[in-house]
Amino acid sequence: MKRIRQVLSTLVILIVFGALPVSPLVAQDGELQPGLAVSTLLLNVRAQASPGSDLVTTLKPGELVEVLEIDGSWAHIKAGDITGWCMVPAGSPTLVNVSGPVPAPRGYHQMTYDVESDRVILFGGLVAGGVEINDTWSYDVSTNTWTQMAPVQSPAPGDKAFAYDTQSDRAILFLNPLKNLRPTGGPSETWAYDFNTDTWTNLAPPTAPPQLTGARMVYDAESDRMILFGGMDVSRGLAYSNETWAYDFDTNTWTQMAPKARPPGVNFQSMAYDEGADRVIMIGSNASDITDDTWLYDLNTDTWEVRETEESPKHRDYGAMIYAAGIGQVILFGEGEPITKNDTWTYDVASNTWTQLEPETPPSKRGWHAMAYDTAAEQVVLFGGGSSRQTCTLETWLYDPGANTWTQVGP
């Protein structure tokens, strides 16, 4: 089946060299310049600027280096105590200048916004070679700074859904762990992350949803509950789930809801919670029969409602959607399959209207990215994703809903 290849992955420790001196950053027309840079692919480091020279080491995606000089298609680099040469043809994205640490290029990661700490939190993802990782990063919009966190323990790599619980000041992670290249087939896991103490805690609720791949989860602020829907059910022969679950952090309890009508089974759909309307908004699917329907869920009445609209994003999967409180609408960007897109849409619940926006300089076509809405800055933060699972970026973009402008701010 289509999804099996994406859940087959392996654990790797992403090695990042220690602190490096930050040389002045000079960027000219996107070409690599002396200064701090990050590796986007596996790069061989040679003793001399020659393909036949002795191999010193191999850089992994996300590793920071200091570029000392450029000699034609070779870069003289320093990584910790190691110096050597990397082949970087003109215009190649194999090494990219940065002003500081950034997450490795990735897709399938998850992001949410910690309101109390005013930080976007990123967890995990899939990097080059189809390798699942489990690193935790925070992003500060005001300083345009990524920081890699260092919790004592972390959730295992795996497929995940992630949302911030305002009442408890915790980012909640629903995890389908992977082991020996396959989903474990055991129970799912529920974790909480506290940015203030940089601590992950395995909550181990007594009951929980089954292991699900591509489920989506949002926080219903009015009801103080996490709402999870969909996913490919590992315990049922990878069937697409159409179950609705609610999680209460205070009691550490998952409850399976029982709506009379419900959407078809989906995974990797787009989902967001509209605070103004007190509704979960969902569109798209990565099931074999992709739906373009817009669905709304009300936890208070345990009711799913399908909305017919004159226009809507079509065949949407592997996109990302958030609620922008500043304009009172959800914002959707991009799509991974069947055709990669870079369109920007808003949905207004009151008028039941999808509107395609036309910002002048949007990010390139991509899916498998993640977004979060920074309420303090009133900006959408987008990181990563790419035109395919094998070509994900390490770009950071900000979207201003009021001005309808996308701005690349990193690397």
The predicted-structure confidence for 82-112, as pLDDT tens digits, reads as follows 999 999 887 667 898 888 889 989 999 999 9
Residue ranges of domains in the chain: 35-97, 103-410
What is the CATH architecture assignment of 35-97? Roll (2.30)
Q: CATH topology of 35-97 equal to that of 103-410?
A: no
User: What are 167's two structure tokens?
Assistant: 């009442």
- Can you spell out the DSSP letters for 194-228? ETTTTEEEE---SS-PPPEES-EEEEETTTTEEEE
d(CA 157, CA 108): 11
The predicted-structure confidence for 233-254, as pLDDT tens digits, reads as follows 877 777 899 999 999 999 999 9
Mean pLDDT for the chain overall: 88
d(CA 395, CA 157): 22
Q: Nearest-5° angle of CA 101, CA 77, CA 17? A: 40
- 406 neighbors 368 (Cβ within 8 angstroms): no
The predicted-structure confidence for 198-212, as pLDDT tens digits, reads as follows 999 999 999 999 999
Assigned CATH topology for domain 103-410: Neuraminidase (2.120.10)
The predicted-structure confidence for 114-148, as pLDDT tens digits, reads as follows 999 999 999 999 987 788 899 999 999 999 999 99
| Model confidence, pTM | 0.86
- 406 neighbors 361 (Cβ within 8 angstroms): yes
**What is the amino acid identity at position 157?**
P
pLDDT at 328 over 80: yes
Q: Which of 370, 275, 270 is nearest to 325 (CA)?
A: 275
